[in-house]
A and B are shown apart, each in its own frame.
Chain A
Amino acid sequence: MASISLQHIVKVYSGGVTAVNDFNLEIKSEEFIVLVGPSGCGKSTVLRMIAGLEEITGGELYIGERLVNEVSPKDRDIAMVFQTYALYPHMTVYKNMAFSLELKKMPKDEIDLRVREAARVLDIEHLLTRKPKALSGGQRQRVALGRAMVRNPAVFLLDEPLSNLDAKLRASMRTELIKLHGRLGTTFVYVTHDQTEAMTMGDRIVVMKDGLVQQVDTPQNLYDMPCNVFVAGFIGSPQMNILKGVLHRNTDDAAGADGKSYVEIGEDKLYLPPEKCSNALLAFAQRDVFVGIRSEDLHDDEAFLAENPNAVITAKVDVAELMGSEVYLYLQYRETSLTARVAPNTTSRIGDTVKIGIDVSKIHLFDALSERNILI
Chain B
Amino acid sequence: MKVKRSASKTLTYTVLIIMVLVCVAPLLIILMNSFKGKLFISDDLFAFLTPQSFVGGANYVSGVTKMNFVGAFGTSLFVTVASVILIVFLCSMTAWYLVRVKNKFTSVLFYLFVFAMIVPFQMVMFTMSWVSNRLSLGNPVGILVLYLGFGAGLSVFIFTGFLKSIPIDIEEAAIIDGCTPMQVFFKVVFPIMRPTIITVAILDVMWIWNDYLLPLIVLDTGYTTLPIAIQKIFTGGYGAVDMGGLMAMLVLSIIPIIIFYLAAQKHIIEGVVAGAVKG
Contact = CB atoms under 8 A, between A and B. Distances in A.
Interface in B223-279: 274, 277-278
A34 to B, nearest CB: 20
A90 interface: yes
Nearest to A84: B169
Interface in B170-201: 170, 172-179, 183, 187-188, 191-192, 194
Interface in B136-164: none
A90 B172 CA distance: 16
A82 B169 contact: yes
Interface stretch (A97-105, A117-125, A174-182, A269-277): A97-105
Contact of A86 (B170, B178, B183, B277): B170
A79 interface: yes
Interface string B72-92: 000000000000000000000
A133 B178 contact: no
Nearest to B102: A14
A80 interface: yes
Contacts of A86: 167, 169-170, 172-173
A53 interface: yes
Interface residues of B, number: 20
A90 B192 contact: yes
B176 A133 contact: no
Given A74-B178, A100-B178, A133 B173 contact: no
A367 to B, nearest CB: 42
Contacts of B172: 51, 53, 80, 82, 86
Given A82-B169, A86-B167, A74 B176 contact: yes
A88 interface: yes
Contacts of B179: 74, 103
A269 to B, nearest CB: 55
Contacts of B277: 133
B278 to A, nearest CB: 6
A80 B191 contact: no
A230 B187 CA distance: 46
A78 interface: yes
B176 A53 contact: yes
Nearest to A89: B192
A88 B170 contact: yes
Nearest to B173: A86
A84 B192 contact: no
Nearest to A51: B176
A99 B167 contact: no
Interface centre among A83, A88, A104 (most CB of B within 10 A): A88
A86 B172 CA distance: 8
A67 to B, nearest CB: 19
Contacts of B183: 103
Given A86-B167, A89-B278, A103 B175 contact: no
B176 A103 contact: no
A64 interface: no
Contacts of B192: 88-90
Contacts of A103: 177-179, 183
Nearest to A133: B277
B103 to A, nearest CB: 9
A144 to B, nearest CB: 8
B274 A133 contact: yes
A73 interface: yes
A87 B167 CA distance: 10
A101 to B, nearest CB: 9
B178 A104 contact: yes
A232 B144 CA distance: 68
Interface in A143-202: 147, 151
Contacts of A52: 176
Contacts of A82: 169, 172-173
B123 to A, nearest CB: 39
A314 to B, nearest CB: 54
B175 A84 contact: no
A88 B188 contact: yes
Contacts of B274: 89, 133
A100 B169 contact: no
Contacts of A99: 174, 177, 187
Contacts of A51: 172, 176
A299 to B, nearest CB: 48
Nearest to B194: A90
Contact of B176 (A80, A83, A90, A104): A80
A341 to B, nearest CB: 40
Given A84-B167, A89-B278, A133-B277, A74 B175 contact: yes
- 5 nearest A-B residue pairs (beta carbon): A86-B169, A100-B177, A74-B178, A86-B173, A103-B178
Interface of B: 167, 169-170, 172-179, 183, 187-188, 191-192, 194, 274, 277-278
7 contacts: A74-B179, A79-B176, A82-B173, A90-B188, A90-B191, A99-B177, A103-B178
Given A80-B172, A100-B178, 8 more contacts: A51-B172, A74-B179, A78-B176, A82-B172, A86-B170, A88-B170, A100-B176, A103-B179
